[in-house]
Amino acid sequence: MSATGSRISIAESRRPVVAAAALSRFAEGGFHGTTVSDVADEAKISPAYVFKLFPGKEALFVAAVELCFAEVLEALERGADGSEGQSPGRILDAMGGAYAELISDRRLLMLQVHAQSVAEIPAIGAALRAGLASITRFAKTRSRGSDDQVQRFIAFGQLCHLVVTAGLDELPDEWAGILTHNLRHPH
């Protein structure tokens, strides 16, 4: 193999490591509060090397969003595979349980929240929509549920985001109890 081919392979093998570092750092600081240098520090490489792999901060954030949704899909698939029944409701419930477990790691949850907050940036909005589309299509196909069932599944996922980010499951207030009723969130 040529030296150039070897360098490209090594560089390409670093992309997932840098994307994972980007996911962690952007989840913590958001798009505007995180620098490429922050991601480089997390990945233990130079900022110049990050720019060699990704043309800019937007592309780096998009890679983090794509990785986030890939991890969400893996969790939903594990949940569906472990469903105790094959009805659409049982499969969606098992997928929801797997998602609740997954977002107890706040990185994925917070990255999605941060992506929503900057979705007006075209590349980020497109990545967010692509991730939501993949989850919706997977939930529909795998569960064989109705559009209403899948919509409720996605809506409950968004409610779970709100409950976890705002700490509603820790409040004794009646209004918080209404929003958290019948939701499972591992701590």
pLDDT for residue 146: 98
Average pLDDT across the chain, whole number: 92
Look up residue 35 and give its two tokens: 């620098």
Q: Can you state the percent helix, strand and coil of the chain, rounding each to 5?
A: 80, 0, 20
pTM over cut 0.95: no
State phi, psi for 137 to the nearest 5 degrees: -65, -40
- Predicted confidence (pLDDT) per residue in 62-85, tens digit: 999 999 999 999 999 999 999 999
Calculate what percentage of the chain has a pLDDT beyond 90: 78
- Residue 182's pLDDT band (cuts 50, 70, 90): confident
Of 74, 50, 61, give the one whose Cα is nearest residue 23: 61
- Side-chain-side CA neighbours of 184 within 13 Å: the count stands at 11
DSSP letter, residue 168 = G
- Predicted confidence (pLDDT) per residue in 81-140, tens digit: 999 999 999 999 999 999 988 888 889 999 999 999 999 999 999 999 999 999 999 999
Look up residue 101 and give its two tokens: 């477990």
pLDDT for residue 1: 46
Domains, in order of start, for the chain: 57-180 (1.10.357.10)
